[in-house]
């Protein structure tokens, strides 16, 4: 089983790589990373980790909806 530190380092690396690749659409990578963190939190029954990743997932979903709204309004 991976520790919390290893999961956070892995998610940070994924976000960094996606930020380098996507630049303007980096907000879209928050939701998949938060979903992976939420699954880890549920599997390990880590309540603070679940709450934090659920909040990040909410921010990611809002970011995706906002990005889609901006693209369609062009």
Nearest to 7 by CA among 28, 42, 33, 45: 33
Q: Where are the domains of the chain?
A: 4-72
Instruction: Please answer whether residues 53 and 37 qualify as being in contact, where contact means their C-beta atoms are separated by less than 8 angstroms.
Output: yes
Give the pLDDT of residue 1: 62
Give the pLDDT of residue 24: 66
pLDDT in tens, the chain (74 residues): 678 788 888 888 888 887 787 776 777 788 888 888 888 889 989 898 899 889 988 988 898 888 889 889 98
Radius of gyration of the chain (CA): 13
């Amino acid at each position: 089983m991976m520790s919390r530190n290893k999961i956070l380092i892995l998610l940070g690396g994924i976000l960094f790589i996606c930020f380098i690749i996507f630049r303007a659409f980096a907000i879209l990578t928050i939701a998949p990373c938060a979903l992976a963190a939420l699954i880890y939190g549920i599997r390990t029954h880590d309540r603070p980790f679940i709450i934090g990743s659920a909040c990040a997932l909410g921010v990611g979903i809002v970011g995706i909806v906002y990005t889609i709204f901006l693209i369609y309004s062009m």
